[in-house]
Chains A and B, each alone.
Chain A
Amino acid sequence: MVPITTIHYLVVAAALFVLGVIGVLTRRNVVIVLMSIELILNAVNLNLVAFSRMWGGLQGQVFSIFIVVDAAAEAAVGLGILIAFFRNKETINVDEIDLLKW
């Protein structure tokens, strides 16, 4: 079997990234869009960790921790907005969120 090198991880990360992008671009449900963003962040994290393994440094892992922090913050605020929005409009579809103010 081919030994696993960095490129393998990069391909997996790319696949996850593209899946996340597809989710963000095509889904209507805000919750699923947010989850797709989490997928994208994960793909980036995987890349960072794979590169940090490749170069033997730890900077990549430190960065990935920052990204996890960011993901947590993003999920909290995003879901908060979602709940506030749902209270007003009773919908969670992205394409119905088309006004700046209501």
Chain B
Amino acid sequence: MTPVATPFFFYMLSGLAVAGGLLVVTRRNAVHSALSLIVTLLAVAGLYLMLYAPFVAGVQIIVYAGGIMVLFLFVIMLVSLERTIKERQFNRMWPVGLAASCALLALFLAVFEKGKKLFEDRPLPPLTENNNTQQIGLMLYGNYMFAFEIASLLLLVAILGAVIMAKKRI
């Protein structure tokens, strides 16, 4: 796997991701939001590939785009109300929220600006070997065994919770 780490691809993918994110937040129709979120997710998967993380990219596509987003679309279709589209889309305190978020962005940028030197000193290390997936597997079943088990327990609990919540009669 040799992704092409050209700036062009980076700017294209990150542009897609940010544009998709913007549409998620601003679209009136929830289905459109979900579709733009899918664009974002795929673009982020592309960015993972550029960062030599093919396994994470694969997981991102399978779990996010193929699983979670289908779930979202399912629920949107189930609860789709004509009137939610006609209603006011933003809550009353949206200016406050927007201002706070902008402040957060400013903070982030300030931090990056300040710490820029830290990063520039370190060029990206050369590519690790091609067995990224194996390494991740070894780590998951080695160092992170306990965390992995807890994650599986979390999923089990989530399944039970979702079923109990969504089922009409059990």
Residue ranges of A at the interface with B (Cβ–Cβ < 8 Å)? 1-12, 14-23, 25-29, 31-32, 34-36, 38-39, 42, 45-46, 49-50, 52-56, 58-59, 61-62, 64-66, 68-77, 79-84, 86-87, 90-95
Which of B47, B88, B159, B161 contacts A46, CB < 8 Å? B47
Can you list 21 A-B pairs with a CB-CB distance of less than 8 A?
A1-B7, A9-B51, A14-B108, A16-B18, A17-B104, A25-B101, A27-B89, A31-B79, A32-B25, A35-B34, A36-B24, A46-B47, A50-B51, A54-B124, A68-B60, A69-B154, A70-B154, A72-B67, A75-B72, A80-B163, A92-B84
In the complex, whether B128 has a CB less than 8 A from a CB of chain A is yes
B97 proximity list for chain A (CB < 8 A): 21-22, 25-26
Instruction: Determine the chain B residues whose CB is within 8 A of the CB of A64 once the complex forms.
Output: 53, 56
**Is there contact, CB below 8 Å, between B41 and A42?**
yes
Size of the chain B interface, CB-CB below 8 angstroms? 87
B residues at A contact (CB < 8 Å): 5, 7, 10, 14, 17-18, 21-22, 24-25, 27, 30, 33-34, 37, 40-41, 44, 47-48, 50-53, 55-56, 59-60, 63-64, 67-68, 71-72, 75-76, 78-79, 81, 84, 87-94, 96-98, 100-102, 104-105, 108-109, 112, 116, 119-120, 122-125, 128, 132, 135-136, 139-140, 144, 147, 151, 154-155, 157-159, 161-166, 168
- The answer on a CB contact under 8 Å between B166 and A12 is no
| Bound Cα distance from A26 to B151, whole angstroms | 31
Closest to A48 in B: B56
Complex contact A73–B158 (CB within 8 A): yes
| Contact across chains for B75 and A79 when beta carbons are under 8 A apart | yes
How far does the alpha carbon of A81 sit from the alpha carbon of B50 in the complex, in Å?
A: 37
Cα A22 to Cα B124 in complex, Å, equals 32
Known: A61-B56, A70-B154, A82-B79. A21 touches B72 (CB 8 A): no
Q: A5-B123, A26-B90 are in contact. Are A82 and B30 (CB under 8 A)?
A: no
Chain A residues whose C-beta falls within 8 Å of the C-beta of B124 in the assembled complex: 5-6, 53-54
| Chain A contact residues: helix, strand, loop or mixed | helix
| A13 nearest CB across to chain B (Å) | 9
Question: Who on chain A is nearest to B88 by CB?
Answer: A28
Q: Is the CB of A6 within 8 A of B40?
A: no
**Is chain B's interface secondary structure helix, strand, loop, or mixed overall?**
helix
What residues of chain B lie closer than 8 Å to A20, measured between beta carbons? Answer: 21, 25
| C-alpha spacing A47/B154, complex, angstroms | 23
Residues of B within 8 A of A12 (CB): 14, 17-18, 47
With A72-B158, A75-B72 known as contacts, the answer to whether A31 contacts B30 (CB < 8 A) is yes
